[in-house]
Structure formats: C-alpha cells, structure tokens
Amino acid sequence: MAKSLDGIKKLNPEEAEKYRKIVLNYIGEKDSSKTVQPANINQSARGYRSLDGLKAGKIKSLPPRQAEEDRLRQAIKRQSEIRKQVKEEEKQYLLERERREEENRSREQEKIRLEKERIYQEKAGREENKKKIREQAENERRAEEDRLKQEKIIKLEKEKQAKERAKQEEFKKKEIAKKELEEAEARAKLEEKKRWEEKIKLAEKEKEETRLAKENLRQEKIKRQAEVKRIGQELKLARQIASEKRRAKRQKAIKKFKKKLKLELNWLAFALKKNYVYIISFFLLFLITAYSFFCAAVLRFQLNDNVVVERLTSYLPVPAVITSQGIINFQDFKSLKNQGYSGLTLDQKKNYLAAWLAKRNLNKKYGLPLQASAEDLAIKFVLDQDFNEVGLTRINKISELLGIGNQLEQLGKYADEYNDGAYYSENEAARKFGPAALDLSIGQASGIIGQASGYYIIKRIKNDNGRFGVKHIFVGARTLEQYLNKEIAETKIFILAN
C-alpha cells in the first residue's frame, strides 16, 4: 500500500522517475541522477549543497528517492507560482484594455458632442446673418422712402416760395399805392395811440399795485408756514428727547432684569448640567412620537368629523400627500376629496393632485385666491416673464415698432398670425380680445392684450353691417395647459391618506 509524505501520495520508483523527467524538461534542467553517486551524497551531507538551485545548510543524508521527491515538490511549487503570476498579469492586462476602451469611447462621445455644438453654432450664425440682411434691406427701403419724401417736400417748398415772391411783388405795388393813404391814417392813429397809451399806463400801474399787494400776502403766508414748520420740528425734537429718555430707562430696567434672570438661569443650569441632554432628547423624542401618532391616527381613521381634531389640523400640518413640488396637508386633501377625487383611478388621482398643486403654487405667486378662475390664472401665466420670456420679448418689440410710426400691416410678418380684417359681434370680440377692445375708436390701435393662448395687438376698422371690425396681430405663448402637462409628467407623488 502506498504511503503519503506531507499530504502527497508516495509514487513507486517508475512513476517518480517518469514525472521527475517531465518536470525537469519543463523547467529546463538536465537529468543529473545518472552522475550522482552515493559517495557524493554522503560527501555533500558533511558540508553545504544546493538542491534545485537553492543553497541549503548542513543536512543529513537523504535517500535518493526522497531527494527526487523533494525536488519534484519544489518544481511543482514553482510551476504553481508561475501560473499565479501569469493569471495576475493576464488580469492586469484585461483591466488595462477595458480602461483604454472606456477612454476611447469617452473621446468619441466628446468628439460627437463638439461636432453637434459646432453645427448648432453654424446654424445659429446663418440665421443671425439672414436676420441682419433682412433688417438692413428694410432700413435701406425706409431710408429710400424718406429721401423721396424729403425731395418732394423740397420741390413743394420751392414752388411755394416762387408763388410767395410773386405775391410779394404784387403786394409791393399795392403797398406803394396805399402808402400815402396810410400815412394820413397813421397820423390820426398816432394821436389816438397816445391817448390809449396813457390809459394803458394807468391800468398797468393799478395792476402793479395789485400784484405787490398779493406778493406781500404770499410772503406773509410763507413766513407763517416756516414758523409752523419750525415749531413742529421743535415739538418733534422734544418728543424724540423724551422717547430717548424713556428708552434709556427701559434699557436700564431690562439690564437689571437680565442680570437677575442670568443668575437664576445659571443656578438652574448648574442643577441640570448633568441631565440636560437626556431631558431635551426625551422631550424631543416625545414630541416627534406624539406628532407621528397624531398624523397616523388622522390619516388612518379619518377623524375629520371631530371638532377638536379639525382645529388641531388647522394649526398642526398633517401631510396627506408628499410630492416633489411640495406637501398637500390634510385639510386641503379633504376639500379635494369632496370635489370628485374619490372616483378616479390611482394614476388619475396623481395627475389631479399634481395639477392642483401646480395651480396652487401659481396662485400664490400671482397673489390670486385659490378659487380664482382658470382663465384668470391662464392670462397671468401668459404674462409671466419667467415662463414666457420669448413670447413677451417678441410682442414688446412689435409694440415698440408700432409706437415709433410703423403700421400694423407692416408688422404682420413678425407675428405668428396676422388678420387683415375680421368682423365679430360685440360678445365675440369681448371674449376673444377682452372688454377693452370695445372702447377703441376707428383707426386706433390697442396695447398688448394678454389672453390664455398668447398676445394680441388689434386695430379698429369700420364696422360691416353692425359687426365689430378689427385687424389684429397674434404672437403665441407657452400656455398654462402645456406647463401643467409638464409638471404632471415630472412630479413624483406619494399619497399617505386613504
């Protein structure tokens, strides 16, 4: 029966010789068993010798078979270490290759992003150049129109001057004929003028005297007002001095009270110095536990008919719904349940709550009551610069161009919609453009009119068979419905109440 040495099965001589040759060939060593003699083994036992390349001290003589087995074990051990090293190097190589591939992917993605950004900038630059070319053409056309108008005005002015010179020459001829007659009349008028001048001087003298009297009264009134103001300032200063004295007295009393209170609090703090952490922690834990039980009881058992619970929930907020936009307390949730909330599915309930919360936040922002109509809220939303900056900028620019002399018909190309003439009943016009549209006169243009769908600028035209006639420009805006749909899609909701 074969024995074992150090957990390794002991081989018979033929097997040991076979495996020894395989291992020696693998590690590149020669078979030295043929030249080793027992005398050499005994001689090496007396000094130092090397075993498989390792220097050993003085050891006892080993049998040849046991020495071969030791060499075999050493070779197997080195082979195992080489395999481990190869596996470790392979693992490091794979990790390095994955890192390089990840860097290559990152560089490719960055190249794609930079290329997209370059294409977008080139497109934006082309659009800006087109806009500048259109504006330059429009400015040149306006300059040409102004030049033609100026030339026409100059021509008319020259014709008018020629006619005026002809009239002046004719007038001179008549003037010479009338001059002698006027000289005679002038002498008579001069005498009459002297008499009137004397009367006027008397009237002016009386007027000056009246003015001086009024001026004296005004100066006296100013002096009285200055005196009253001075007295008021003195009284105010006296009140301020008295107030400062009272404040100093109060501060002195407060300092005295604080000093006394500080002594008492120091004594109390010394008494509770070792236990204050435990007392505060216990008190906070008690409050948190009581509040949690109160919220759970209200939400679980629906104690909304109890007067005491109803008053407590009006002071202590009980979160019935928690969302990413905010919290809906129990009182608001109870009012929502009375508005047809209970008959909806879970997804419909979440959408309903998200829309309600978004409207509530907008009502608070615009200072509207919670019961405000949807149309009022929609108009406020359209006029909000935070949500409709682009639309407001466009309609304000059109309004500015209209204010500096441009016609509504010329500005229609800058709008989303232009109607060159439409007729409505008064009710239809009031619904579409607002009641202020009915107050416009024929040919008058309105300011910016905000409606739920966007912005209007209208111009009144003549009626047709009693129907209200207008031209209008329309610029679209981001609507309240679009905003609510976005908020519903992005809001996360957790419903705690039943």
| Chain segment 114-123, per-residue pLDDT in tens | 888 888 888 8
* Token duo for residue 402: 């209209």
Q: What is the pTM of this model?
A: 0.41
Per-residue pLDDT averaged across 213-218, rounded? 88
Per-residue pLDDT averaged across 138-159, rounded? 86
- Identify the three-state secondary structure at position 343: coil
Please, are residues 334 and 326 in contact by the beta-carbon 8 Å criterion? no
pLDDT-derived band at 306, boundaries 50, 70, 90: low
Nearest-angstrom CA–CA distance, 71 and 16: 11
pLDDT-derived band at 498, boundaries 50, 70, 90: low
Nearest-angstrom CA–CA distance, 496 and 299: 7
Please, are residues 438 and 449 in contact by the beta-carbon 8 Å criterion? no
Would the pLDDT of 271 be above 70? Answer: no
Maximum pairwise Cα distance, the chain:
177
* Phi (first) and psi of residue 369, to 5 degrees: -70, 160
pLDDT-derived band at 50, boundaries 50, 70, 90: very low
Please tell me the predicted confidence (pLDDT) of residue 52: 43
Q: Give the best-scoring range by mean pLDDT among 9-18, 88-97, 452-461.
A: 452-461
* Phi (first) and psi of residue 391, to 5 degrees: -65, -45
Please tell me the predicted confidence (pLDDT) of residue 1: 41
Please, are residues 357 and 326 in contact by the beta-carbon 8 Å criterion? yes
pLDDT-derived band at 299, boundaries 50, 70, 90: low
Residues facing 50 on adjacent strands:
55
Mean per-residue pLDDT of the chain: 79
Per-residue pLDDT averaged across 260-267, rounded? 81
Report the percent of the chain where pLDDT is more than 70: 84
* Phi (first) and psi of residue 59, to 5 degrees: -125, 165
Would the pLDDT of 370 be above 80? Answer: no
For residue 23, how many other CB atoms are within 10 A of its CB?
19
Report the percent of the chain where pLDDT is more than 90: 1
pLDDT-derived band at 250, boundaries 50, 70, 90: confident
Indicate the Cα dihedral angle 405, 407, 412, 413, nearest 10°: -60
- Identify the three-state secondary structure at position 326: coil
Please, are residues 458 and 477 in contact by the beta-carbon 8 Å criterion? no
The one-letter amino acid code at 309 reads V
Would the pLDDT of 403 be above 60? Answer: yes
pLDDT-derived band at 53, boundaries 50, 70, 90: very low
Residues facing 474 on adjacent strands:
417, 456
**For residue 419, what is the enclosing H or E element?**
strand 417-424
